[in-house]
Chains A and B, each alone.
Chain A
Amino acid sequence: MKITEREVDYVARLARLKLSDRERELFTGQLNAILEYMEKLNELDTEGVEPTYHVVHHTNAFREDQVRESSPREEIMENAPQREGDFFKVPRVI
């Protein structure tokens, strides 16, 4: 067993997901099978190999700090599930 039901619950909490009992059981089985398969990578000695996080060589993309047209506020706010004026509304935090 690579991952227990308890760990699956913990990961779900980190990922802001809520699993039903059925999902927890199903995912535990499936994630174990997948993680078992991932073990294959340990056959390779990667000591000293530089990791590749991106294939493009990144340099900072500078631009002039100029005032430009912004996205249309009303069209953005129209997608809000709940709003108050020009604010997104969320459940009370404090």
Chain B
Amino acid sequence: MEICRLGIGELRERFDRGELSSVEATRAFIERIREVDERIRAYLTVTEEEALEMASRADEMMKEGRVFPLTGVPLAIKDNICTKGIRTTCASRILHNFVPPYDATVIGRLKAQGAVILGKTNMDEFAMGSSTENSAFAITRNPWDLEAIPGGSSGGSAAAVAADECAGALGSDTGGSIRQPAACCGVVGLKPTYGRVSRYGLVAFASSLDQIGPMTKSVRDSALLLGAIAGHDPHDSTSSPLPDEDFTRLLGEEIRGMRLGMPKEFFIEGMDPEVEERVKEAIRVLEGLGAEVFEISLPHTPYAVATYYIICTAEASSNLARYDGVKYGLRKEGEDLIEMYRETRSDGFGPEVKRRIMLGTYALSAGYYDAYYKKASQVRTLIKEDFEKAFERCDLIVTPTSPTAAFAIGEKIDDPLQMYLSDIFTISVNLAGLPALSLPCGFTQRGLPVGLQIIGKPFSEATLLQAAYAYEESADFRSRRPLIGSSP
């Protein structure tokens, strides 16, 4: 098999058997990036030199017998995760020249294992969007159809994994930004439980919702990558104090008797019938493996989009107040301090970011706070309670990841509300702080991937991965690969 088609676990086996070095693997991925990224545009920055240095250090580590699951494995990192000395832009003009003086905790953990960083991937500006079209720098294309979006906001990471431009990647998920692009690009994407992974060094969008997570070629790879980045961090007081665990420990265990809930509110009119069919087929496969499937209700689902877009914009309007042209990033001169702020921010932020700052500022402003922010936070409680009640009866919840497969580039960009509605199946999970995973469950007739979403109880990632692995083993979609257009 070509080296660049290998995932994390497969590279590990070859490294451990001495059949392949990290430098050889890293070269193969750099070669692949050179070959296809002009068409895909998954990366904003490729750190070729640094990657090769990290790879030769990893080879040294392996020679000395210091081997961790990620040692020598070449990865792509979403460009809202701080990397010391490597430009981190959030795909925004306002941070176009920002070079972080420190590593995010997840990067520190990966470096300690000897992982290799190939570069930083494209995204919707400040992770705001569902198509990666809101990037200030590039349009990323879906490797399965170059005229389709890769999903968003972690569209660059998803496309890089799907196009074999890395062995695995990190994304971030505030309302579906790992799972929806994973579904669109036919890869595995896991949003961990809120608090499972440190947010230190993740550029904040909505702090009560953001989580970093793996995007990979297989379920096992997600378990390995999660294991490398998870754990308590004194730099993030919302990170969980639970002890480290091996997320691969239940892979291969049978799922007989596992109770799977299908929320009736997620199988609604307006969903693409092909998506519904593929997801129902996948659920039947899980049933065939001995799982018990039954209907459940999450009655407040129809209110999730409105709730989410009030809460996330309110948090964003506060978090993005720091971009003022003083400490880093873009500065546009103005006649006084306030004018300097306004000129800088108006020039530096793109339309979707401005729209969300405006919406959040409005929702938090005097006279509207109770009607919007407080109301939404109360409905958030009702949404969270829906899940708590459902999990009294079932172990996992199975749903489509997104109501449609990847849509065409340009199709929804002028209609923000329609774009928001593409997150309808993913956002309630963030509001409730739960872990959820998207994995490929087939294709539409046009050949676009469809994603199955599995939602778990807080901190039940191992069980989530167990069910996903059982499905993946019995319905292998990995043999089908994107062709990435014709040769240049």
Do A and B interact with each other, yes or no?
A: yes
> Is A79 a contact of B99 with CB atoms below 8 Å?
yes
Chain B nearest Cβ from A63, distance in angstroms: 7
A55 touches B372 (CB 8 A): no
Number of interface residues of A (CB under 8 A): 51
Given the known A-B contacts A79-B328, A91-B333, are A31 and B382 also in contact in the complex, defined by CB atoms under 8 Å?
Answer: no
Chain A residues within an 8 Å CB radius of B362: 3, 7, 11, 31, 35
For A40, give its contact among B302, B327, B337, B378 (CB under 8 Å): B302
Say yes or no: B309 contacts A38, CB within 8 Å: yes
Q: Is the CB of A46 within 8 A of B382?
A: yes
Nearest Cβ distance between residue B126 and chain A, in whole angstroms? 14
Whether A56 contacts B234 by the Cβ 8 Å rule is no
A-B contact count (CB 8 A): 160
Which of A14-34 touch B at CB < 8 Å? Answer: 14-19, 23, 27, 30-31, 33-34
Q: Helix, strand, loop or mixed for chain B's interface?
A: helix
Q: Closest approach, in angstroms, between the C-beta of A24 and any C-beta of chain B?
A: 10
B194 to A56, Cβ gap below 8 A? yes
Report the nearest B residue to A30, measured CB to CB. B416
Residues of chain B within 8 A of A79, CB atoms compared = 97-99, 101, 327-329
**Those of A49-69 within 8 Å (CB) of chain B:** 49-56, 58, 61, 63
Decide if B345 touches A16 in the complex (CB within 8 Å): yes
**Given known contacts A8-B358, A81-B325, A41 and B309 CB-to-CB distance under 8 angstroms:** no
A92 to B222, CA, bound (A): 51
Task: Let me know if B303 is at the binding interface, CB within 8 A.
Answer: yes
- A46 and B343 contacting across the interface, CB-CB below 8 Å: no
Q: Closest Cβ of chain B: how far from A8's Cβ, in Å?
A: 7
Instruction: Please state if A55 and B375 are interface contacts (CB–CB under 8 Å).
Output: no
A52: B residues at CB distance < 8 A? 377-378, 380-381, 384, 431
Choice from A17, A40, A78 contacting B357 with Cβ under 8 Å: A17
Task: Kindly identify which residue among A19, A35, A63, A75 contacts B234, using a CB–CB cutoff of 8 Å.
Answer: A63
Q: Does B374 contact A (CB under 8 A)?
A: yes
